């Protein structure tokens, strides 16, 4: 229940795969040589603008994924900030629950970030917290980021009031709808009540939504929408002072695979409005049943209130990491999320349309896994961290992970981030070492 988005429609899946193959050689770098790429991109952007109510002069860009969308949104805001005569380092204001792609953007673009705590009951970023952040950051504030919804807890921030504050302060406001934008847009189109979240909210300057998540398309496609062309122009890069072809890039890529775009186009065409409505309805129904079911299992609870199709569950006396292990033995993959200060350890559930068919089975297994975990101790970081690290499985051996991972997650959980982040990088460094 992470990373995978299955609408349960084999025909749509097949169309996506066939389009991937058919467009393997097409380069979206050059719409003059390959006119089909402009058509594909314009169709996808128009589809998205329709869904999230972009005004007539709204525009967009198709990117390679959520992170590229977030990074370009930060770049757009920085350039707009500079256009307003500011110089030096710009700052973005984000909730602690915002996706790390924004921290990565700041790292890449040499900017600063001001991280704001969310409200502890709802897990939402509130306008009161943003107001004090804007006061603190002052003139360097270039962007406020809000999520619709956040990945860790699946809740939508207080977008209307935060966007209005940003507008009054002359700061851009980006809505990260990478994971939930399609779900919320489709739900509203069907007449369901959803929180205000999109480009029609005054003050929202850009909006991201991924097609390779709840657009049910093969990986490699996301859309970044802008309220108008001024923001988008800051993300374009053109260069002709060399003896080669005059280069224009609309994203971080230069050669840009058209295949994911074509696959998304084909997937959406086969699903159609009715297919997408049905998929989103099923995912939302499954989410509601799962959240209700979790509330009925002693020892665990849902954190916040899921606004879309993501659930975070925690245990007050039962370790969520242990539950994940017992669920894995029953063939369910729940994603462990470490604690952060007073925010508890949780398990993340990305609920798919196909989850609806297995809600009862899932809840039966979750109840049993919770009962088993309740008999165990809480997994904690070992005293001897060095020995624990030495004991970590060697992923490069191809041997795979140990069946029980709670202690490994507890080790990660127990480390301060200044130690943890380099250690995680080192593990990946070891993993991606080619050995002859």
Ligand X SMILES: Cc1ncc(COP(=O)(O)O)c(C=O)c1O
Strand partners, 300: 315
Smallest distance from the beta carbon of 83 to ligand X, in angstroms?
A: 26
Longest dimension (CA), the chain: 70
Measured from the CB atom, the residue of 47 and 214 that comes closer to ligand X is 214
Output 151 or 216, the one with its CB closest to ligand X.
151
148-170 b/e with 16+ CB inside 10 Å = b?
Answer: bbbbbbbbbbbbbbbbbbbbebe
130-139 contact pairs (CB < 8 A, 24+): 130/93, 130/162, 130/165, 130/166, 131/165, 133/93, 134/93, 134/165, 134/166, 134/169, 134/171, 137/91, 137/93, 139/86
Nearer to ligand X, 48 or 369 (CB): 48
The residue of the chain with the least Cβ separation from ligand X equals 66
When the beta carbons of 31 and 215 are compared against ligand X, the nearer one is 215
CA 254, 258, 261, 263: dihedral to nearest 10 degrees? -150
Based on CB atoms, which residue is closest to ligand X, 98 or 284? 98
Q: Within its chain, how far is the Cα of 116 from the centroid?
A: 18
Shortest separation between residue 67's beta carbon and ligand X, angstroms: 3
Beta strands in 77-205 (DSSP E): 91-95, 112-116, 141-147, 172-176
Give the nearest distance from C-beta 85 to ligand X in angstroms: 31
CB of 178 to ligand X, least distance (A): 3
CB 181 → ligand X: shortest distance, Å? Answer: 9
Give contact residues for ligand X (rule: CB under 6 A). 65-67, 70, 99, 101, 147, 151, 176, 178-179, 210
Counts of helices then strands in the chain (DSSP H, E): 14, 13
Cβ count near 387 (within 10 Å): 9
Q: Which is nearer to ligand X, 76 or 373 (CB)?
A: 76
Closer to ligand X by CB, 101 or 323: give it.
101
Which of 104, 305 has the CB closer to ligand X?
104
CB of 65 to ligand X, least distance (A): 4
Report the C-alpha gap between 186 and 66 in whole angstroms. 19
To the nearest whole angstrom, how small is the minimum distance from the Cβ of residue 212 to ligand X? Answer: 6
Compute CA distances 413 → 130, 312, 339, 426, 429, whole Å. Answer: 28, 17, 6, 17, 20
CA distance 178 to 210: 5
- Minimum distance between the CB of residue 41 and ligand X, rounded to whole angstroms? 18
């Amino acid at each position: 229940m992470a990373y995978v988005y299955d609408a349960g429609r084999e025909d749509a899946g097949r169309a996506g795969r066939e389009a991937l193959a058919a467009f393997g050689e097409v380069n979206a770098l050059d719409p003059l040589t390959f006119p089909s790429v402009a058509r594909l991109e314009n169709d996808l952007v128009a589809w998205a603008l329709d869904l999230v109510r972009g005004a007539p002069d709204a525009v967009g860009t198709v990117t390679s994924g959520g992170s590229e969308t977030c990074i370009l949104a930060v770049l757009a805001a920085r350039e707009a900030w500079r256009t307003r005569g500011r110089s030096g380092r710009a700052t973005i204001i984000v909730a602690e629950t915002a996706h790390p792609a924004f921290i990565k953007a700041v790292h890449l673009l040499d900017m600063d970030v001001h991280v704001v705590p969310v409200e502890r009951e709802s897990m939402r970023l509130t306008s009161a917290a943003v107001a004090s952040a804007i006061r603190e950051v002052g003139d360097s504030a270039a962007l406020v980021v809000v999520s619709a919804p956040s990945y860790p807890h699946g809740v939508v921030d207080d977008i209307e009031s935060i966007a209005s504050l940003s507008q009054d302060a002359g700061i851009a406001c980006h809505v990260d709808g990478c994971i939930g934008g399609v779900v919320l847009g489709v739900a509203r189109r069907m007449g369901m009540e959803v929180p205000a979240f999109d480009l029609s909210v005054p003050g929202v300057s850009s909006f991201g939504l991924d097609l390779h998540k709840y657009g049910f398309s093969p990986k490699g496609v996301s859309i970044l929408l802008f309220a108008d062309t001024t923001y988008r122009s800051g993300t374009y890069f053109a260069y002709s002072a060399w003896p080669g072809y005059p280069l224009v890039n609309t994203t971080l890529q230069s050669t840009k695979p058209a295949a994911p775009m074509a696959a998304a186009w084909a997937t959406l065409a086969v699903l159609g409005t009715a297919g997408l409505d049905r998929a989103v309805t099923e995912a939302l129904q499954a989410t509601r049943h799962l959240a209700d079911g979790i509330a009925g299992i002693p020892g665990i609870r849902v954190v916040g209130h899921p606004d879309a199709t993501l659930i975070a569950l925690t245990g007050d006396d039962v370790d969520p990491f242990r539950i994940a292990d017992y669920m894995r033995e029953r063939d369910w993959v729940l994603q462990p999320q470490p604690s952060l200060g007073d925010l508890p350890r949780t398990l993340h559930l990305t609920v798919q349309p196909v989850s609806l068919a297995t809600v009862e089975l899932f809840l039966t297994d979750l109840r049993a896994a919770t009962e088993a975990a309740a008999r165990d101790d809480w997994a904690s970081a070992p005293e001897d961290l060095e020995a624990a690290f030495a004991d970590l499985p060697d992923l490069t051996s191809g041997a795979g992970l140990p069946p029980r991972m709670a202690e490994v997650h507890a080790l990660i959980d127990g480390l301060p981030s200044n130690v943890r982040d380099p250690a995680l990088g080192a593990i990946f460094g070891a993993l991606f070492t080619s050995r002859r």
